[in-house]
Amino acid sequence: MKKLSMICVLLIIATITANAEKLTDNLNYNVRLGYNLGGTAPIGIPSSIRGMDSYDPGWNLSYGFDVQKDIRGPWGVMTGIHLENKGMEVDARVKNYHMEMVQGGQRLEGYFTGNNVVNVEEWLLTVPIMATYHVGGNVKLKLGPYISYAMSHKFYGHAYNGYLREGTPTGDRINLGNTEEQRGSYDFSDDMRRLQFGIDVGADWYFSKRWGAYADLSWGLTGIHKSDFKTIEQTLYPIFGTVGLTYKLK
């Protein structure tokens, strides 16, 4: 992962220096405000996750400032800084799902069958570095990597309306109910990674001289937890779509 971060840092520096040559030429500045909708999920959902009873995307806003420069023909580059929130709440039905309840150093680990609520909240500072391509007079496609730094991160939830088999599916059985007193809670906020990478693909469409709409898909290539975190067997990746408005400053 360290290698990857080095490459990204180098890429940023390369982009900045490349642009520095004719810094004032053909630079477009724009600000954007969007809504992030998505989730953190394993790629290839394991069979132990049986279904989703509810999904709350939450109010995830993305504020951005981008600089775009046309380089040759339809091609250009874009970078910027986005302050964004990626979160969700999912209530999933699981069967024999390996999990651990953790509170204040006390642990209870085993296989849970029932409902599992997961809450994720992250505030991120994201720098995308994208190639841009003008397909028409007012539509620009974007593709490139992004790097994010999580300024705050929360991952918590509870298991309810089911039972836990302690240790293995043959272990002691503990029933879980649906009140705060009867469910199993966990909080893995401290096990989350701060630096994240991924791929961003999207399009900007200007419907007036200064106003435009945009849609992006950012696909996380790093899991939201640290790599040595094994309590949740599947790595959870942040995958979010963004739709919003953009305003051209110059």
Partner 1 sequence: MQSSKLIWVIILLCGCLSSCFKEEPLNAECDIESVWVHTDNPDDFFFNRTDTIINVPYSKSEITFYVKRNSDITHMAPMFKITEGATIEPANGSLQDFSRGPVTYKVTSQDKQWNRVYNVAFQERSRTVTDTLKFDFDNYELDKEYGKFYVWYDKNEDGKTTYLWATGNPGFRYAYSTMKDPDRYPTTPIAEGIDGASVKLETRSTGAFGVINNKRIAAGNLFYGFFDTKYVLTETMKSTNFGHPFDKTPIKFEGYYRYKSGDKYQDKNGNEIPGKKDQGSIYSVMYRNHDNAGNEVMLHGDDVLTNPHIVAVARMVDVTGTEDWTKFELDFKYFDNIDETLLNNYGYNLAIVFSSSYEGDHFEGAVGSTLLIDKVRLICKKTE
* SS3 call for 88: strand
Specify the stretch interacting with partner 1 by CB under 8 A; choose among 6-14, 120-128, 180-188, 223-231: 180-188
* Site for partner 1 contains 147 (CB under 8 A): no
* Site for partner 1 contains 175 (CB under 8 A): yes
Closest approach of partner 1 to the CB of residue 14, in Å: 28
* Site for partner 1 contains 183 (CB under 8 A): yes
Specify the stretch interacting with partner 1 by CB under 8 A; choose among 17-25, 65-73, 107-115, 119-127: 107-115
* SS3 call for 44: coil
Residues 109-128 that bind partner 1 (CB under 8 A): 111
Residue from 9, 14, 65, 169 in contact with partner 1 (CB under 8 A): 169
Q: How many residues bind partner 1 (CB under 8 A)?
A: 55
The residue among 114, 213, 101 whose CA lies nearest residue 157 is 101
- Measure CA 222 to chain center: 9
Cα–Cα distance for residue pair 67/9, rounded to 1 Å: 18
Tokens 């954007």 sit on residue: 32
* Site for partner 1 contains 221 (CB under 8 A): no
Residue from 136, 209, 228, 250 in contact with partner 1 (CB under 8 A): 136
* Site for partner 1 contains 139 (CB under 8 A): yes
The residue among 3, 249, 35, 11 whose CA lies nearest residue 129 is 11
Exposed, middle or buried by CB within 10 Å (0-12, 13-18, 19+), for 121? middle
Closest approach of partner 1 to the CB of residue 139, in Å: 5
Closest CB to partner 1 among residues 19, 109: 109
Alpha carbon distances (Å) from 1 to 7, 147, 175, 206, 221? 10, 12, 40, 37, 11
The tokens for 58 are 């939450």
* DSSP summary character for residue 169: T
Specify the stretch interacting with partner 1 by CB under 8 A; choose among 67-75, 124-132, 182-190, 222-230: 182-190
The tokens for 14 are 């390369």
Q: What is the binding site for partner 1 (CB under 8 A)? A: 37-39, 41, 43-52, 55, 95-96, 101, 103-108, 111, 135-136, 139, 163, 165-166, 168-170, 172-177, 180-185, 202-203, 205, 213, 215, 217, 239, 241, 243
